[in-house]
Structure 1
Amino acid sequence: MSLVPEEIRLRLPHIELAAQVYGPTDGIPVIALHGWLDNAATFARLAPKLRGLRIVAVDLAGHGHSAHRPPGAGYALWDYVHDVLLVAEQLDWPRFSLLGHSMGAIVSVLLAATFPERVQRLALIDGLVPPTIEADAAVATLAEALRGRLTLAAKRKPLYPSLERAAQVRQRGVGQVSFEAARLLAQRGLMPVEGGLTWRTDSRLTLATPMRLTMAHVQAFVTALSCPTRLVLAEQGLLAPREGLAELLRQTPITVECLPGGHHLHLDDEQGAQLVADCFNPFLSAP
């Protein structure tokens, strides 16, 4: 598979998204979804190692080179599900597989559970379900989120003198990454402004989530999965320590592979990307 992806624009009825495309035009259709505050470059090492696939790695709304949602709108997980369905419609893919990392894995699970007739296979990297709350915490959660919205206009994005400096900061962010991985994400995620560089990402993405699913909601989605699903867990990732994960997985036929590395094991280095590819190549190419 080519190391250099094709850049495309996807003009949906309500928003325009950017994407990077890997693989032959007649390859098995796969939509790839990145994690929170990342972009399509998260698949830069992995996608070229996946054989026989037509991979469309999307910059989710508000990320990378995609448009931001209009004023007053938010970034709920189910809005991303809607976007991905419209991406599939534009690509004329009635059925497709999903490759998701972190938040992208969560969106993939919601879509596959809700529209089982559309999703052929589900390949997940260190992501499965969102953080949950119970009903008695909903009031405080909503209050925190709305207070954040009220003060957002007074905040300014960070300014960096160089790509290297931005990559150093990203390296220490959520889901710590190698410098080379941070640099790949920063190359796609930065834009020039007066005085230096800043992130293209919509600032609203840093706000607290107004409403979270309960554990009962999460169980309903996970147990509704009917397509073959493989989850790669990173030994030093964000998902492995999650309370209740083992019990949740026992309720499903999801196959789990635990690999060495951190949350971005598929991007941190070539070795990690190859290990993930070795898990997904026979899985995604199976009939």
Structure 2
Amino acid sequence: MDPLFQRDAYTRSLLAALLLAAGGLVAAQFTVLPAVFIDPTLAESPADAARSAILAMMALNFVGMVIVGAVYLRWRGYGWSYLDLRAPTAREWAYTLLATVVAIAVMYAVSILSTVLGLPEADNQVIEFIGDDSTMVLLMLVIVFLFNAPAEEFLFRNVIQKRLYAAFTPIGAVIATSAIFAAVHIPTYGLALDGTAADPMALVPIMLTLFIGSIIFGYLYVVTETLVAPIAAHAFYNAFQFALLYLVLEFFPEEFEAAMAVVVDLLPALAL
């Protein structure tokens, strides 16, 4: 293949991937507006907003990603067959469980390394909405399984990663997608809860966790060729963290602050 043509293919694929990821973030800012209009407290003091409003905003946030991915597939003329929604085999379910366990292990390994190196902790805007409400943590499990994991994996795996296959090797596409996936989460952690810029060093362990986690889920998608596998692994991974937080709030509330140091979720930006 002509090297010049190949470079052009790389550029087009990366540009499309970046635009799709950015489009998902922008769309989310609009799809959450109905929840904000219903309960303006979401924009002023999120922790004081009604649970129903917070849950609606969380769900609508992910709807934006689905809309962007669906519009792109429609524009490219792809039908339903483009969605890799085949049920995993028994072996593929085993791979999914393994991917979940490895992702959790990576999360803790990075957390321990961060503590050893004395890196600062970054705030997470999602925690601002949850606070110390254990019931809200349980309700977040619904968001994780029905909206968070399906929406993110659909856009980043079945749309972006699959689009990159046109120019990259499967592993190259996984790495590129994972870099983009980590980058789009910077708004979630890049600002302290008071609106000031977060310490850049605090982003290092989080971005590393997100990048490696996305590589694990992306490679799982390559191996299984079904979107159901990374959706399930992603959901189990996030659910583990929220379940851990719930147990802390219910039985060890005095350890809440310490728990925040290790609960690193993959929810996208919720800044209004």
Question: Do these two structures clear the TM 0.5 threshold for a shared fold by scoring above it?
Answer: no
TM-score by length of 2: 0.25
Question: TM-score by structure 1 length?
Answer: 0.24
**Greater helix share, 1 or 2?**
2
Relative CO higher for 1 or 2, CA cutoff 8 Å, sep ≥ 6? Answer: 2
- Structure with bigger strand share is 1
